Structure 1
Amino acid sequence: MEETERADETFRNLEDQKPAAILEALLAGQRRALDAVEAALPAIERAAEAAALRIGSAGRLIYCGAGTSGRIGLLDAMELGPTFDWPDERRQVVLAGGEASLMRSREGAEDETHMGREMLSAVGAGPHDVLLALAASGHTPFTLAAAGTARAAGALTIGLANNPSAPLLAACEHPILLRTGSEVLAGSTRLAAGTAQKAALNLFSTLLMIRLGKVFRGRMVDMRPTNAKLKQRAHRIVQDVVGCSPDEAARALEAARGSIREAILALEATR
């Protein structure tokens, strides 16, 4: 039996415990998830460095998964745009069950091997692309089929799984084992396994964006200031980096059409 599916006898009567004790147990499971991510840091680093070399100026990030894993991948993909101004056309999400599975769970879709191949082929993965394949068990047929198809097409494949014997880890060039073990609530991989996947993706994509020049002096200089809060943040970033007045930052951002990076460079050129 896979580690993520194994019941921990410590929690056999979890539902009989007091609420405070249940919450403590669940939180301890979340802490173990972060320990698993820490153990995987060398693998995450290798994967991000390889992705930075592969993706260049035109390659895409393709996230793939089913159920919880797929939705976690989708979240990371969606956040790349507003945070790092990553172009929408340079990210793809291959989710078992398609868009319909976002609002209503379609757990049976994870068994559809043919759909994994077909949906991955439909996005036209190639040698400049990077596939991030996620599966807590590492056995998901849909995700395994997509990973194999991507690798055959020449894409760089990165696999994240929570079981050490997972076929997905063997199927991908860069395996990332997030060994979270059994769940407090037996088999519920949206808990520790999901937390580890989310944290690992956060680390991977942030390091990748740093390596691609999306961060300057520790600031998100390619952030999209699309609302009042983010516009205020853009002003603060320019002021902090350059050491200018609010008025100077405002004028520079207006002249740069909201580009934080260009506003900073323009102001620094005058100093």
Structure 2
Amino acid sequence: MTDSLASLTTEQRNERTKELDRMTTAEILTVMNEEDQKVAEAVRQVLPQITKAVDRISEALKRGGRLFYVGAGTSGRLGVLDASECPPTFQVDYDMVQAVMAGGGEAFFKAKENSEDDERQGEEDLQQKKVSPMDVVVGITASGRTPYPIGALKVARRVGAFTVSLSCNEASEISAFADCPIEVIVGPEVLTGSTRLKSASAHKMVLNMLSTVSMVKLGKVYENLMVDVHASNHKLRERAKSILMESTKTKYEEAESALEQADMQVKPAILMLLKSVSYEEAQTLLAAHEGQLREALETNS
């Protein structure tokens, strides 16, 4: 097992940083910044695989399925971060996008490094979510060999869920258990083996893509505006008004009034202003077009 770990790209020493402890602060920051610039290019190389994953995720969510992120350590925390942002950003139910993390919620704040080694626990934790063929499960592991998410993908495949793996090494072990393997090869880390650096940045980029683009395809976005934002506090209410003003070219007071009539929901408020309909009529239009605001706006009814 030790030899297997040592052979991974993510565990190799970076030739550019072998004198890291001798470098000045500016030199270290410069090389870190230069290495980070390689991450976006590595993600670009796997856009076809990400496209496949997004299409399957959006199809699953449209049918009432769920998206699960499964990981340990940094990978698990990234899954929690992305999942937790979906409800306020896109006003979706909290169970639509979920994170399953080795060690449970406590491990988000305090590392439980040994929890990642339990493949059976990965299976059991996902089974507790009653994963089904309607769902999509994404196993996240920089090394590609972490037992916990591998266990989760195994049980997901057994029940017929679509499986995606996200790793940073070629021919990762977890890829063998994924319908859509995504291997983002970022190269050796600045600090040898510290995959919370480039590997984590790559995974954050990919998770951003998976959730954001899926929500676009679900009609949660109009133009490039988050028209399903959950206006649950002052900042988000002001953002909702700004979105409404931008999309309808109305003044602040008019946008504020329309939002209040629409129960602080941006999409029906836009329809109310642009099509001169009531809140109830706007809701009916949106329902008829499965929440797609552009289609509702372009209809002649």
* Residue identity opposite 2:37 in structure 1: R
Cα deviation, residue 92, structure 1? 2.1
* Rounded Cα–Cα distance in structure 1 between residues aligned with 2:17 and 2:254: 59
In the alignment, which residue of structure 2 is the partner of 1:140? 146
Structure 1 residues 1-271: aligned runs within 5 Å? 1-270=7-276
* Residue identity opposite 2:188 in structure 1: S
* Rounded Cα–Cα distance in structure 2 between residues aligned with 1:209 and 1:116: 27
TM-score (norm. length: structure 2): 0.88
* Rounded Cα–Cα distance in structure 2 between residues aligned with 1:103 and 1:47: 29
Conservation of the 8 A alpha-carbon contact between 1:56 and 1:128: no
* Rounded Cα–Cα distance in structure 2 between residues aligned with 1:151 and 1:214: 29
* Rounded Cα–Cα distance in structure 2 between residues aligned with 1:199 and 1:121: 28
* Rounded Cα–Cα distance in structure 2 between residues aligned with 1:173 and 1:230: 38
* Change over 3 Å in CA distance of 1:231–1:13 after alignment to 2: same
Mean Cα deviation higher: 89-98 or 142-151: 89-98
Conservation of the 8 A alpha-carbon contact between 2:60 and 2:66: no
* Residue identity opposite 1:47 in structure 2: A
Conservation of the 8 A alpha-carbon contact between 1:92 and 1:123: no
* Rounded Cα–Cα distance in structure 2 between residues aligned with 1:222 and 1:188: 37
RMSD: 1.2
| Per-residue deviation, residues 123-161 of structure 1 (Å, max 9, x unmatched) | 010011111110000100111010111111111111110
| Per-residue deviation, residues 239-259 of structure 1 (Å, max 9, x unmatched) | 111112222111110011100
Mean Cα deviation higher: 139-148 or 167-176: 167-176
* Residue identity opposite 1:81 in structure 2: P
Cα deviation, residue 57, structure 1? 4.1
* Residue identity opposite 1:112 in structure 2: D
Question: Which stretches in structure 2 are left out of the alignment for 5+ residues?
Answer: 1-6, 278-301
Q: What percent of counterpart residues are identical? A: 37
Instruction: Please say which structure displays the higher CA radius of gyration.
Output: 2
* Rounded Cα–Cα distance in structure 1 between residues aligned with 2:64 and 2:38: 37
Cα deviation, residue 91, structure 1? 2.5
Cα deviation, residue 40, structure 1? 1.3
* SS of corresponding position for 1:131: strand
The number of aligned residues is 271
* Rounded Cα–Cα distance in structure 2 between residues aligned with 1:237 and 1:93: 29
* Rounded Cα–Cα distance in structure 1 between residues aligned with 2:151 and 2:182: 18
Conservation of the 8 A alpha-carbon contact between 1:253 and 1:263: yes
Question: Which stretches in structure 1 are left out of the alignment for 5+ residues?
Answer: none
Cα deviation, residue 10, structure 1? 2.7
Instruction: Compare relative contact order (CA 8 Å, sep 6+) and give the higher one, 1 or 2.
Output: 1
